[in-house]
Amino acid sequence: MKTPLEAPEEQIAEETSVKPEKPAASVIDTSRMSKGQREALELAEASRDPLDDRGSFASNLFIGRCDFGRIYPFPEQTAEDRAAGDPFLQKLETYLREHVDPDEIDRTGEIPPENFAGLAEIGAFGIKVPQQYGGLGLSQFNYGRAAVLLGSWDGNVAALVSAHQSIGVAQPLLLFGTEEQKRKYLPRVAGGEISAFALTETHAGSDPATMSLRAEPIPDGSEFILNGEKLWCTNGVKAGVLVVMARTPPKIVNGKERKQITAFIVDVDSPGLEITYRCRFMGLRALYACRAKTLSRKKARA
Ligand SMILES: Cc1cc2nc3c(=O)[nH]c(=O)nc-3n(C[C@H](O)[C@H](O)[C@H](O)COP(=O)(O)OP(=O)(O)OC[C@H]3O[C@@H](n4cnc5c(N)ncnc54)[C@H](O)[C@@H]3O)c2cc1C
């Protein structure tokens, strides 16, 4: 079965033994759509990566060709943005060189507590969090530079800092949180209270739609009860607050049932929440990933 990202036929014929197929008719029937729906679909289809004679970067990977010409020009950082990030980047580099010992971390499987405190002191846990909420207010580009630097020094520390603010509480809140939630949680996580993201379950990894952890509202709708178990939650062992993805009751949209998945902000000291196990990883011996269980947790609407 062909996918829209497949390489063009001439290229497939040239590079593999696959015989060209007849083009499949479009499976999308737009005849019953409203004008608005049809236009939206056409816009989405038109914005797909067009398959020219070289195919897309990703489709070329499947035939062993790594054509960087398809993804350049790489975005350039402006001089102004670079200058805004430089002082922090310099501080971070000095801190890593002087205070973080990757060999010891690898030997012991632990990041020393003073490194948590030291990284918090220079602002490493709130790189993109706006200054009004206690962060450094730097750009995604500067965050990326910090991630490269951290990764070049110690993979465990890189995972700690990045899981905390890219999938942990900070980023989802910046994107989707209410002002009240931002004021409550961002200063905490920017200041070094560790956060984590709990999506994966024993039977739900690449396909999160199959997750089984449920959140049911109590009758007055003011709180939810979360029931289920999560796996491989990076930072969970050290976290004070988690983003927990949960299945919530379906909504009826245009007469049809639509499944819902909702992100909840959960304080780790909430009653009923248990970090049951620290998962150990080869290669990242000091990753603080865990298995977590919520038995009958209540949480305000997120
Ligand atoms: C170091 C580490 C840290 C992690 N941290 C977190 C975290 O902080 N929070 C969290 O929620 N999770 C975390 N995870 C879990 C991670 O997100 C899952 O491992 C990932 O989503 C894949 O799920 P899975 O391991 O169940 O693999 P599966 O989904 O079982 O996939 C197994 C294999 O099958 C392939 N596959 C699956 N479905 C398809 C398909 N439809 N078509 C083709 N191939 C397919 C996959 O590519 C893969 O090769 C972490 C994992 C690791 C290793």
DSSP secondary structure of 77-98 = PPHHHHHHHHHHHHHHHHHHHH
Strands (E) in the chain, as ranges, are: 195-198, 214-217, 223-233, 241-253, 256-267, 273-279, 289-300
Ligand 1: distance of its center to the CA of 172 in Å?
Answer: 20
29 or 44, higher pLDDT:
29
Mean pLDDT of 197-219: 91
pLDDT at 16 over 80: no
Mean pLDDT of 89-96: 98
Unique residue bearing structure tokens 């905390």: 164
Calculate the average pLDDT of the chain.
87
Sign of torsion, CA 105 106 108 111?
Answer: positive
Ligand 1: distance of its center to the CA of 209 in Å?
Answer: 13
Whole-angstrom Cα distance, residue 129 to residue 124? Answer: 10
Q: 154 — phi, psi (to 5°)? A: -155, 120
**What residues does ligand 1 touch, defined as CB less than 6 Å away?**
163, 167, 196-200, 205-207, 232-234, 281, 284, 287, 289
Atom of ligand 1 nearest to the CA of 245: 11
CB contact at 8 A, 179 and 147 = no
Which residue of 200, 245, 287 sits with most ligand 1 atoms within 8 Å of its CB, as the best mutation to test the pocket? 200
Q: Beta-carbon neighbour count of residue 120 at 10 Å?
A: 16
CB contact at 8 A, 126 and 170 = yes
CB contact at 8 A, 2 and 24 = yes
Mean pLDDT of 60-81: 85
CB contact at 8 A, 261 and 208 = yes
Atom of ligand 1 nearest to the CA of 198: 11
pLDDT at 33: 85
Domains of the chain in start order, with CATH, are 9-70 (no CATH), 79-192 (1.10.540.10), 196-300 (2.40.110.10)
Ligand 1: distance of its center to the CA of 53 in Å?
Answer: 33
Q: 252-285 in b/e burial notation, b at 16+ Cβ within 10 A?
A: eeeeeeeeeeebbbbebeeeebebeeeeeeeebe
Both structure tokens of 277: 């196990």
Whole-angstrom Cα distance, residue 60 to residue 192? Answer: 42
Task: Read off the amino acid at residue 34.
Answer: S
pLDDT at 131: 98
Distances from the Cα of 217 to the Cα of 222, 225, 246, angstroms: 7, 6, 12
Task: Report which protein residue has its CA nearest ligand 1's atom 19.
Answer: 205
Ligand 1: distance of its center to the CA of 206 in Å?
Answer: 5
Confidence of residue 97 (pLDDT cuts 50, 70, 90): very high
CB contact at 8 A, 187 and 137 = no
Mean pLDDT of 245-270: 91
Both structure tokens of 282: 């080869």
pLDDT at 157: 98
Ligand 1: distance of its center to the CA of 232 in Å?
Answer: 10
62 or 139, higher pLDDT:
139
Confidence of residue 31 (pLDDT cuts 50, 70, 90): confident
Half-sphere exposure of 270 (CA within 13 A, CB side): 23
Query: DSSP label at 112?
Result: -
Q: Is 151 helix (H, G, I), strand (E, B) or coil?
A: helix
Q: 193 — phi, psi (to 5°)? A: -75, 120
